[in-house]
Amino acid sequence: MDVRRLIAWAVKASSLREKYEREKAIVFVRLFEEAGVKRGLFSRKRKSPSNPQKTMQDVLILRNIVARRQLPLYNNMVNYANMASGMLPRKVKGGEQRELVDGLKRQLALFITDGAEIRKLLETQINILSAITVQNISPDFLRSISKLWNEERKRVKRMGKSASIMQGVFFVDAKRIEKMYLDALSGAVLATNFLRDHKQTFMYLQAASIGVMAIGAMVGLDTNEVTVVVRKIGMYGEKLSGMVGSV
């Protein structure tokens, strides 16, 4: 796995996701206005749009956004999230660190589940939009699509929440690991013993950071601090190795 490619794609995915959501919202507003629908409520009693041909054009535009832009994007987001899950440590010794790893994996699983549910919602939207014709177009179709759209946006927010919690869990673990390294540097813990007993600790932190950054970047979170923390602890490790080597 090319880590740089993964992170770069995640950043791009976040930008595209927001772009498609804006485009979708603009088309929805036009459709609602044309059909006499305002934010899910009928502002005027109308059995069908006043200009079905114009409304049908917007239906086709909306279907194109969902089928050719949003659905492929979320397919890739879920696939890349599964790749990111492979970056998390598979086996961690017991104790607090294992609990934190389990916390990361739990939030990542929720992220992937919500992404998969969004894909299903998008597929249902495509089916409904594909069934609309000039002859049968009505506000009832828009009501059905609107409900799916609202559920989609709720799921997107939940994905963002899962990513945010993942970062929080990571920083809790990073803070604890940083303290361990500082204790060793200060002489509170013998450096040779520390490096021997925690040989895998920094490798764990590096692996976890990749998954956290990838998921965070997908939903637009600032992941720079994750990189800063890993680099800082890496520098502490180099100093410790230097101390041991100079003895």
Is residue 213 within 8 Å of residue 199, measured between CB atoms? no
| Spatial distance between the Cα atoms of 112 and 77, rounded to a whole number of angstroms | 8
Tell me, what's the pLDDT at 193?
86
Question: Alpha helix locations (H) across 65-200?
Answer: 71-85, 96-131, 139-186, 191-197
Q: Is 51 exposed, middle or buried (0-12, 13-18, 19+ CB in 10 A)?
A: exposed
Question: φ, ψ for residue 38 (rounded to 5)?
Answer: -130, 110
The pLDDT tens digits for 118-158 are: 999 999 999 999 998 888 887 788 888 889 999 999 999 99
Tell me, what's the pLDDT at 29?
86
Tell me, what's the pLDDT at 25?
93
Tell me the sheet residues that pair with 38: 41
**What is the C-alpha radius of gyration for the chain, rounded to an integer number of angstroms?**
24
> Which residues in the chain land under pLDDT 70?
1, 35-50, 90-100, 245-247
Tell me, what's the pLDDT at 144?
87
Contacts of 195 (CB under 8 A, 6+ apart): 184, 237, 240, 241, 244
